[in-house]
Structure 1
Amino acid sequence: MRAVGIDLGTTNSAVAAYDAARGEARMLPAEGGRTWTPSVIGLRRADGKEKQLVGEVAVNWAARAPRDTIFSVKRLMGRHFDDEVVAKARERLNYRIVRGPQDDPRAHVELGDETCTPAQLSALLLRQLAANASRSLGEEVTHAVITVPAYFLDAQRAATREAAERAGLHVKKIIDEPTAAAVAFFGLDKNPGDRSRILVYDLGGGTFDISVLNAVKDAEGHGQFHILQYSGDNWLGGDDFDLAIVEYIIASMKREHGVDPSHDKGFLMTAKAKAEQAKRTLNEDTVAYIVIPAAYRTGEGRPLDVELVLTREQFDKMIEPMVRRTMELVERTLEEQDLTPDDISDVLLVGGATYTRKVYETVESHFGREKVRRNINPMECVGLGAGILAGTLHGVECPEPACRRPNDDAASRCTECGASLVNAPVFGETGLNEVTGPSMGIAAVRGNRRDVFVPIIPRNTPYPLPEPQQRSFEATDSRFIRVPVYEGDDPVASRNAEQGVIEFELPEEIDPHSRVDVSFNYTVNRTINVRISVAGTDMVKVDTPRRQLPPTPAPEPTQETDNGWNEQLLSYVMGHTEEFLQSYEAHIEPNQRMKVNRDLEQAQRALDHGETGEYERLTGLLYDDMLHQCGLASKFAQAERAAEGASPELTGLINEAVRLVKEAHARGNPEQLSQQERNLTTLVARALTEANVAEVPTEEGFGGELRIPDHRLDT
């Protein structure tokens, strides 16, 4: 068995292998001696035959077959055809994106006469990468650590795993790209005992990720990583810089020649290649010349040339809104962890787009040039980190405290005690303590609100989970139950990203109004498992969300609203919020207090003017302020709520954890504070699971009723 690390990128992909004797990873060569392979799939038609092309040969053939050249397919992974991101892709990409066959709601791509899922196309690329690595290493590559953007949702991670399995690879771990980059950086020049708080600014071809993590090198020289927070944008990257230049070229054609070449696929492909060259030129020079002979032919067949000058000042102005968007996300991420730029010791620039002068100068201005590390290649650090993990993660550890036996990655049960390894942690020289992304939950009914999002696994929960997290609901009077699984943090379920559906039917002998327990658990690779059971019966359904089913339509808005009840609830929450500000004053930052006060003022205006349509939204906003947006104060508020319904023993543990967090905060010890915060988060999650404490108090006793489908959707 040989394992490698694979950086499966939007624009380019790369492979790295770990050399145990030297204790370091190295990039493996692809065709032509480069260390990267273009993430491009093409189709060549010749002599009545079709041949699939991968990598550089697909790029070289692209101008001849622009509609059969697939790039940036990573942006489509695990997405529904009706997704806003897919709609944007259909407008901007040259190939055909279609709905799946037989009502499959996922986005598919037409390549020649075939219709493929993005996972099938990515499998072609992964197979090529594995073949190149096997040739370079002189032995067959069978296992891989594969990187994904930190903000990839559950369906996107599942599609990545599917692609690897189609390529014949066993996935040791799916790892976030910023985490992999930090592993590579920290292993490069840190000594035993060194500690860092790292912010990873990862601007690739198609996605932008930020991660904040604490890192320490233990006495044996092994890195231990604690991920604190991540954020990002799945449609923001260097490709968007290129497209801004393409729009500039199109505008010049309209102005100079009175033609619009925006629908000519061949022109767009050539223009994008020239845009990439101009972007790279402007990193060093103040002017780039864009010349494309016979770029476009008019209806009469007359060739038109492109001859343009693009200055760095013009380019900077084009991309300024996108760069500003990245820094807004950076600032928000720091605020959510009660951090400032001064609290960051190292800023790591990752991804080819960080070579752009406007980008790195903006980051240096924000954090200080001395913190921005340039001792590792932004194009290689993700792959190198994945390679280190491939060589230093050796399997999974049995989660049973009395056992803890190491097991192979592929094992489903412990070879020693037989315990399930579904949520077993990885083990090896490199230590990883990861957190989830957005909340995972389901849609439910609360009173007259039929589209309430009920989180089951809250955002930023440490995983693998020590045990499943559960919420209880009341079944409706329908025997057919459809449970859509959502990922996101919007209080309205249908505004989050649906990750799939669980469907089941209550047997005749079970009362339709029975209590239904829904529990979620993540595997070590953050794949969601759902268990649905009916209390007092032996009915149990365990499944992963089915992604091939049609998405769940949002319910029609109710004609009547209980404005009196909503007004009372908003008034109650406003009072509770003011008490929160007073109780936790010492742990609320000034910018956080300003935001909460603004939201309180907005709520008061809504009450004064009778804006009944705003009551529900503002109630959710104030609860989000208290429970999620005020850093340590929010953690203490969560702990207080959780302790109310916990056992005396667990209440004591929570109170002690709160005390230790406050002590670490007072001492200004960031490492100890991070450790104690994680312990408190775990205890709160355990208490919420045991007590079924709702995120927002309502008149219902549980999370609400399971939502009735508007009509039964055929499976």
Structure 2
Amino acid sequence: MTAIGIDLGTTNSVVARYDPEQDRASVVTIGGARSTPSVVSLRQRGGKEDLLVGGPALNWAKAAPANTILSVKRLMGRDFADPAVAETRARRSYQIVSGPNDDPRAHVVIGERTYTPAQVSTMILERLKNGAAEKLKEDVTHAVITVPAYFKEAQRAATREAGEQAGLVVKRIIDEPTAAAIAFGLELREGERRRVLVYDLGGGTFDISILNTAKDADGHNHFQVLDFVGDNWLGGDDFDLLIVEKIIEWVRRNAAVDPSGDDEFLFIAKKAAEEAKRTLSEADWADIIIPAAFRAAGSPVDVEMTLTRDDFEALIEPLVDRTIHLVRTALERQNLSPDDISDVLLVGGSTQIPKVREAVENFFGTGKVRRHIDPMECVAVGAGILASTLHGVECLSCATVNDETASECRKCRQSLVNARSAGDTHVYDVTGMALGVAAVRGSQADTFVPIIPRGTPYPMSEPMRHTFQTTDGRVIRVPVYEGDSATASENQEQGVIEYELPEEIDIHTRVEVSFLFDRNRELHVTIAVPGTNMEYRKKLRFDTARAEAPAKADFEEDDATYREDLVYLEEVTRRFLRTYEQYLRPSQAMKIQGDLERAQQTLVFSDPAECRRMISVLQSDLFGSGLASQLYIAERAADRATATDAQQINQAVAALQQSFQQGKQEAVAEQAQVLKLMVAKVGQQYEVAEVGDAEDFAGLLKLLDDA
């Protein structure tokens, strides 16, 4: 068995291997190069098609920009409706489309075929695996693969899927900053403890991780992740694109044409920008010369411009300032100051930019910033160390060490769901965001209830639980979300678990939802009724959870119906916002406006599942927005009531509105209660549909005040 570490980068990928006997890790050259471009391209020549990967793909890219996939890491684990995907579409020459057969994930187009980002990453990983095997003269079977610290669970799962499809046993998916800290850990002396901050500015993402590191008396290294923050859209690519904008401005000014819509020009300009950026790390200016960069009115346009370091640093200053702001955020969340950090590791190629390095040194002090570790290779080196020093998983029941692929202990047959990795390097990870469910609080059906809080160490030895009460109906619906917002729909939906209560169990019963997060970052969900034998278990893998989510029998209508319903409901909600905005709290109005914008995006993409979800969200806005909703429901009730009842409702509404305008809060509360009783009476007599809708929560669980 040969295990390697892989830094699967946005722009370039690196492979490393650790030799325990020599206590040394080194980069494995592939095709004679220490890094491999994370690029896949289709070469069409002489009626023959070939998929190129790595250096050959990058060399061919100029001839086929529309069939060259760059920076696919930005798309990993993302739905097509994700705003980040829309931003990527605006920046790239290749097509990004929604998946076939209602697959909500983003896909890329190469030639006549579509691929998931995981499939493209599989091609890159296969190239790395085979290239390493050729260089080492050994079969490469196992790997530790790195990801940005702030990757969400779906993105991590997609990376694991890509590794497995490439024929690798993925021993661990580890954060890039943690891997860099492991490389630094080789220098620790026995008994030494350090608190390290990793500043990781790569090609596509920016991460800060804070870790406690130590080496025990047995020579084992320990790495405890305290916290991390990051930005999935901040990296060297963004610096390059600022230079590209300067090149476009130069062409507009000097050639009176706009090349911004020409894919081939943009690709060439991007490469020239990368070269200029590297030059400016060493020199005070860089000449950007691109012969025949663009053709206008049949004549070629040459680019001949100079970019000074001062101009470049002025361009990137807002981005650099943003990184320092995130550093402050990371420290403040742990109640730390710069003085509490013993070492700062600079990771990623963009940290070689003088402006970036100086900003970090000014914040922490020059003496703390470690510059002797190669920022381009230390992530792969750390992953290589971990790959070699992990020796399986240890059963919590009998301490037997099992292979990473085992699901139960070979000795005691206990489940290995919560087993920990065994080996000489111990990494203690924490969750980057909270994991929880959408539930009903009062009349609000879009409340996020965290079950596993942000920053929880995993794998977990015991599940975390929360108790709810069922709503009307026998179907229990548990939408699982990841995020930090108190509003569920503002977080990332990871899947929906549905279960029908057996006939012998009463509705309105208490239900316990348990989450267990394992070493592979897979979520084990259990739905149980305390005091009974009812228990339903499901493992949620975040790369496939949404595609596997079962549909409710009551919702098996034509997909077009959902779109029509959403179009109607979107217009009703806009009218509601215009009419009753003065009765909404500012936060309520902002939420509704945001929901309407998301509904508009959903209508553009016409995803049936998302249409259903947004219908539920807008219904919650209409009937769960306090006083404004009461007035709206009263208006509907008056339209269907007798003349006498309608007159009484309208008089009560007028009195309530007058008290509200006069700021008489106690009178408003009393009159609102009277109005509620009037509307309820009409609802009972005339079956006003909207009144009933206020309590239709479609199987969602209710949050217990005493839970």
Q: SS at the partner of 1:262?
A: coil
Q: SS at the partner of 1:273?
A: helix
Distance 1:335 1:494 in 2: 27
- Say which is worse superposed, 478-487 or 22-31, in terms of deviation: 478-487
Equivalence for 1:442: 437
Shift in Å at residue 93 of structure 1?
A: 1.1
1:107-256 correspondence runs (5 A): 107-187=106-186, 189-256=187-254
Q: Which amino acid aligns with 2:412?
A: C
The question of 1:268 aligning with 2:256 is answered no
- Say which is worse superposed, 535-544 or 389-398, in terms of deviation: 535-544
Distance 1:610 1:123 in 2: 64
The question of 1:324 aligning with 2:321 is answered yes
Cα distance 1:558–1:384, how it changes in 2: closer, same or farther (>3 A)? same
Cα distance 1:51–1:565, how it changes in 2: closer, same or farther (>3 A)? closer
Cα distance 1:456–1:611, how it changes in 2: closer, same or farther (>3 A)? farther
Cα distance 1:494–1:702, how it changes in 2: closer, same or farther (>3 A)? farther
Q: Which runs of 4+ in 1 moved over 6 A?
A: 608-612
Cα distance 1:472–1:565, how it changes in 2: closer, same or farther (>3 A)? farther
Distance 2:507 2:156 in 1: 35
Shift in Å at residue 475 of structure 1?
A: 2.0
Shift in Å at residue 49 of structure 1?
A: 1.9
1:525-674 correspondence runs (5 A): 525-535=520-530, 536-544=532-540, 546-548=545-547, 550-551=609-610, 552-553=613-614, 555-556=617-618, 557-559=621-623, 561-562=625-626
Summarize deviations over 1:565-616 as a string: whole Å, max 9, x none: 99xxxxxxxxxxxxxxxxxxxxxxxxxxxxxxxxxxxxxxxxx98999xxxx
Distance 1:2 1:410 in 2: 15
Distance 2:155 2:473 in 1: 32
Equivalence for 2:292: 294
Q: Which amino acid aligns with 1:519?
A: S
Shift in Å at residue 48 of structure 1?
A: 1.6
Q: SS at the partner of 2:415?
A: coil
Distance 2:295 2:664 in 1: 61
Distance 1:426 1:370 in 2: 35
Equivalence for 1:53: 52
Kindly, what percent of the aligned residue pairs are identical?
56
The question of 1:84 aligning with 2:83 is answered yes
The question of 1:499 aligning with 2:494 is answered yes
The question of 1:35 aligning with 2:34 is answered yes
Distance 2:623 2:509 in 1: 28
Distance 1:70 1:527 in 2: 29
Shift in Å at residue 83 of structure 1?
A: 0.6
Q: Which amino acid aligns with 1:513?
A: H
Cα distance 1:441–1:131, how it changes in 2: closer, same or farther (>3 A)? same
- Say which is worse superposed, 427-436 or 381-390, in terms of deviation: 427-436
Summarize deviations over 1:529-560 as a string: whole Å, max 9, x none: 22223442434131315222634336110346
Contact 1:502 1:543 in 2 (8 A): no
Equivalence for 1:690: none
Equivalence for 2:604: none
Q: Which amino acid aligns with 2:18?
A: Y
Distance 1:317 1:157 in 2: 35
Q: SS at the partner of 2:617?
A: coil
Summarize deviations over 1:360-413 as a string: whole Å, max 9, x none: 11001100111100111000000000000011111111012xx11111111111
Q: Quick one: which of 305, 308, 311 aligns to 1:308? A: 305
Cα distance 1:109–1:408, how it changes in 2: closer, same or farther (>3 A)? same
The question of 1:397 aligning with 2:394 is answered yes
Cα distance 1:609–1:388, how it changes in 2: closer, same or farther (>3 A)? farther
Shift in Å at residue 495 of structure 1?
A: 0.7
Equivalence for 1:416: 411
TM-score when scaled to structure 1? 0.78
Equivalence for 1:106: 105
Shift in Å at residue 244 of structure 1?
A: 0.6
Q: SS at the partner of 2:454?
A: coil
Shift in Å at residue 564 of structure 1?
A: 12
Alignment gaps of 5+ in structure 2: 550-608, 631-661, 667-701
- Say which is worse superposed, 166-175 or 518-527, in terms of deviation: 518-527
Equivalence for 2:385: 388
Equivalence for 1:675: none
Shift in Å at residue 21 of structure 1?
A: 1.1
Distance 2:663 2:17 in 1: 64
Q: Which amino acid aligns with 1:376?
A: I
Q: SS at the partner of 1:86?
A: helix
The question of 1:523 aligning with 2:585 is answered no
Q: Which amino acid aligns with 1:520?
A: F
Contact 1:9 1:74 in 2 (8 A): yes
Give the superposed CA RMSD. Answer: 2.3
Q: Which has the larger radius of gyration?
A: 2
Contact 2:439 2:703 in 1 (8 A): no
The question of 1:280 aligning with 2:278 is answered yes
Cα distance 1:258–1:106, how it changes in 2: closer, same or farther (>3 A)? same
Equivalence for 1:460: 455
Contact 2:467 2:704 in 1 (8 A): no
Summarize deviations over 1:205-263 as a string: whole Å, max 9, x none: 00111000111111233211111111101111000000110011111111222211111
Summarize deviations over 1:499-548 as a string: whole Å, max 9, x none: 22323334445434232222111111222222223442434131315222
Contact 2:97 2:108 in 1 (8 A): yes
Shift in Å at residue 563 of structure 1?
A: 5.7
Q: SS at the partner of 1:442?
A: strand
TM-score when scaled to structure 2? 0.78
